Amino acid sequence: MTGTEGLDRAIGGGFPRGGLILVAGNAGTGKTVFSAQFLYRGAVDCGENGVYVSFAENSEVFHKNMKAFGFDFERLEREGRFRYLDMVAVREESISSVLKTIVEETHRLDAKRLVIDSFSAVAQAFKKPFDARIVIHTVLSRITRQTGCTTLMIVEVPFGTERIGLGMEEFVADGVLLFRADELDGRLFRDIMVKKMRGAEILEDKIPFTLKNGLKAFPSFEVRLPKKKERFRPLPDSATKFSTGSSELDSLLDGGYPKGSTVLLEMGRNVSILQYHLILSPTVWNFLAKGACVIVTPSSGVDYRLIKKRAAESGLPSDTIERLLRVCAFRSVTTPKDPHVVEFEGKSIEEDYERYLKIAAEIRQQTGRPILHILGVDTLLAYYGRTDTMKILNLSVTTIREHGALGIFLLKPTYFGISGPLNAIADVHLKIVREHGASLLYGLKPRTMLHFVEMDVSKGYPLPELTPVI
């Protein structure tokens, strides 16, 4: 195993035992954290002792930095499960003795895992690149082959180039991982490119990751099912904000959605219905559980049956859902008689909107509570066109604010140029995107960093689990 579950899944189980793996990338991309985690998790989880050979920093700096990620290497050293070899001052003349020391220490500790940090630092000790190449072969033969250690060799990649080391390490290594730090919509985004992994079936060749509490990789979004279904437990609203129904999303938004506000929930390409419903559903459940009505105008690809199914996943009583949930549908779409469904003609936006407001007023009077309005923008555009849709959405923003309600506008990447005008009238703007199969959420209003979105079913129902990209 690599020490990182998500990466293990992506490369078919982990590194080849006894192999040499190059961990390459620019400075600050997470190579050292990943390599240290490989040793730490190997010792703690697998009972495999490890040796870290550093030509870059002394042991005090290493121990201090790694404690910030929860890695207590000092304890492992006291227990005889880890050894840190400080080779910062190495020179060309002493390379042979250094290599001898590495071999001796791995044998003495009966180590199964070895990290060399970094080859780039070692190569600088040589006057000629040819001599540095000899060291690579020495590491490959004398250390990885003689000791049987699975060895990670860190290689610094200069900024502005994709060339790894001296250009030939890739050919002698069993695996090559390229760590990258880039931007996604102006926010930090990290990923690992699996350039080579001998004997492995590569399921994902680009795996996003974060350095939050160690290195965590996020392969394709995974659907999970609760072991035992439970009834949704609502979260309290504050004096000024509606809870989103998710404690993690509440935290991201400093307490939830402001009362009387409009939220724009925008989806990028290839975002599935389930992925954005994972963000949306807890808010719906939170309103229903408190006796408040939810009126939904579904976006494209969603009908009243799916809306009812999502509501039922809350575990709330069916009579509560039937009494409080309303789904707007158009007569051109065949729908059987259902207490949840409210039909509209879809011809005159003024007549339809007047009827919508009347229904909302009746429900508000019955429940005495603010309403959650969910509007699929693409559906309105398809029936009423851009001009009339924007007119109604602007009126809706005013109506929602007057009644202290909450509106969520759902925007799919169907109509070009609509995001900007909607951002201008929304109080909160969140966007869900999909990158290398992973689901990510971030805020434009308020501005937030990228967060990976996973499905958490530990409470007996699906909730979003958010992990920031740092």
The mean-pLDDT minimum among 98-102, 137-141, 243-247 falls in 137-141
Q: Collapsing DSSP states into helix, strand and coil, what is residue 343? A: strand
Domain region containing 170: 5-217
CA-wise closest residue to 302 among 317, 320, 281: 281
Mean pLDDT, the chain, rounded, equals 90
CATH number, residue 88: 3.40.50.300
11 pLDDT higher than 60: yes
Residue 79 is assigned to a structural domain of this protein: yes
CB of 324 closer than 8 Å to CB of 294: yes
Dihedral Cα 39, 173, 438, 443, nearest 10 deg? 70
Whole-number pLDDT of residue 73: 97
Reported as a single tens digit per residue, the pLDDT across 391-403 is: 999 999 999 999 9
Instruction: Name the H helices within 162-239.
Output: 169-172
Whole-number pLDDT of residue 171: 66
Q: Do 205 and 57 reside in the same domain of the chain? A: yes
CB of 180 closer than 8 Å to CB of 191: yes
Class of residue 39 by CB neighbours under 10 A (exposed 0-12, middle 13-18, buried 19+):
buried
Residue 233 is assigned to a structural domain of this protein: no
Q: Between 285 and 213, where is the model more confident?
A: 285
Residue 325 is assigned to a structural domain of this protein: yes
Whole-number pLDDT of residue 227: 93
163 pLDDT higher than 70: no
Q: At 81, is the pLDDT very low, low, confident or very high (cuts 50, 70, 90)?
A: very high
Residue 228 is assigned to a structural domain of this protein: no
Q: Do 267 and 370 reside in the same domain of the chain? A: yes
Residue 235 is assigned to a structural domain of this protein: no
How many distinct structural domains can be found in the chain? Answer: 2
Q: At 170, is the pLDDT very low, low, confident or very high (cuts 50, 70, 90)?
A: low
Residue 232 is assigned to a structural domain of this protein: no
Q: Do 248 and 192 reside in the same domain of the chain? A: no
Reported as a single tens digit per residue, the pLDDT across 216-231 is: 999 899 999 999 999 9
Q: Do 284 and 353 reside in the same domain of the chain? A: yes
Q: Do 211 and 248 reside in the same domain of the chain? A: no
Q: State the average pLDDT over residues 352-376.
A: 96
